[in-house]
Structure formats: C-alpha cells, structure tokens
Amino acid sequence: AAPRPAHGCGSGALLGRFGVLLQALLALCAFSTLMLKRFKEPKAERRPWRIWFYDTSKQAIGALFIHFANVFLSDLTEEDPCSLYLINFILDATLGMLLIWLGVKVVSWIVQHKKYTYLVFGEYGDPPQAAAWIGQCILYLLIMVFEKTVISLVLLIPGWTKLQQILLGYIPNPQLELVLVMFVVPFIVNAIMFWVVDSLIMRKYKQKDTLDIDGSIETPRARRTEESQVLLSPDMDFDQSESDQDISGLRGTNQKMKQPSYQVVI
C-alpha cells in the first residue's frame, strides 16, 4: 500500500475495500430517498413503478458517471485524494447543480421546439416505450458530461491546492476521513440533489398532456375550453320560443285547473 501523507488519506484509498464498501452503502442510502419521495407524492399524482424507475434510473446513470469521474480525477494526485474528491463533490453540488438545471431547461426547450415528444423528460408514451427512456438517458448523460467538463476546467484555476491541504488536515484517522468524505457528506448532499433533480425531470402532474392520433398535444386547459364551448354552443341551448310556449302552456293548464267548475241544476 502506498504510504499515507502527513495530511489526508493515502493514494488508492478511495478504491480500497473499505472505500468500496462505503460507496455501496452510500448508493443504497442515497437512492432510498427517491423511493421516499415517491411515497410522499399525493396518491392522485403518484407515478407507477415503471415510470418511477424510468425517471430515477436516469439519475442513477448520471450519478454513477459523476462519482467514478471524481474517483478517477482524485486518484491522479499522490497527495490527498480524499480532499480532492471532496472538492469535486462540493463543486458538483453547487456550481454543478446550476449547470444541470440550465442543461435540463435548454434541452427541454430544444426538444419541445423541435416537437420531439418522446425526448421530453418524463414523457414515455402510452404505454411507456423503452426507446423514449433510452433517448432521455442519453440526453441526461450528455448534460452530466457537460457539467463534469466545466467543473474539471474550474479545478484548473490556481488556488485549489491550498484548500486541498487544509480541508481535511485536522482529521488524524484516515478511515474516519473516508467515512466523512465517501458517506456522510455525499449522503446529505446527494439526498437533496436527487430530490431536486427528480422534480426537474419527472412528468409534472399539472402539465400532463394527451397525445392525439395525429401527434398533436392536447392540454387539460384546451380540453376544458373545448368542453365549455360545447356546453355553451347554440346547438345545445333550448329554443327560446319553444320554451316560452311550453311555459305559457303550463301556466294555462294551471289556470284551468285552478278555475272552479260550476254545475247548472234545473
């Protein structure tokens, strides 16, 4: 094993047996927050398990890509891979979160402008199509590649080395440092990130659209407008003259029934 430096964990510690165990525990706990989020949704808006899997698996693919990219970049240094991983992770959770939000908005605008219905995040067709899920996974992975590229360029700015030296230098135990870097901080931040990103890429209940046979999109507002127009159309109204005649006829009948009858007795 590589010797441990004066501060921080040693080279290769992230991929050691204890580090891999922490990463597996982190993945289990972090993705359990997505299951909790599903059960917190109102029953009328709760996604079926298949739709939920399609939504969350995109995040799983993106999170695994970011995680292994951070591990690879952190092992490039021989000084303190733990602190470099933590710096990468903090940047992913702050600046990276903003980049992911921007990427989702831009991609959603482009696919809606081009009318690629099944590439809209959260739209999989009825019944759900695996091809739509694969296309959305590719788009989301491209967003994550863009985010990680920008973060890697930010790390090239001078000044991060000093922060790396003092970030975890006060922790004497390397295993405690691994627990903090690979489990405690990522679990808290990932739980928040997964919750927010899932809300961005899931299908919004208020924006659920119905696809016509010709491929056009019928929104709930359009359906309500159409229904109101049908209800208020002249064909559905009663004829005023006929209704007046019926009312006058009923009145005449009532008057006849109310008039007393007389008999002439001779």
pLDDT truncated to tens, each residue of the chain (266 aa)? 444 444 457 667 787 888 888 888 888 887 788 888 888 888 887 888 888 888 888 888 888 899 889 888 887 766 678 888 888 888 998 899 899 999 989 998 999 888 888 888 888 888 888 898 999 999 999 999 999 999 999 988 877 767 766 666 677 777 888 888 888 888 888 888 888 888 877 775 544 444 443 444 444 444 444 444 544 444 444 444 455 555 555 555 555 455 555 454 44
The secondary structure of the chain in percent helix, strand, coil, rounded to multiples of 5, reads: 70, 0, 30
CA atoms within 13 A on the CB side of 42: 5
DSSP 257: H
Strands 217-218 and 210-211: antiparallel
Only one residue has tokens 């580090």, namely 19
Show contacts of 151-157: CB within 8 Å, 24+ apart: 151/88, 151/91, 151/92, 151/95, 151/96, 151/99, 152/73, 154/91, 154/95, 155/73, 155/87, 155/88, 155/91
Question: Is the pTM higher than 0.85?
Answer: no
SS3 115: coil
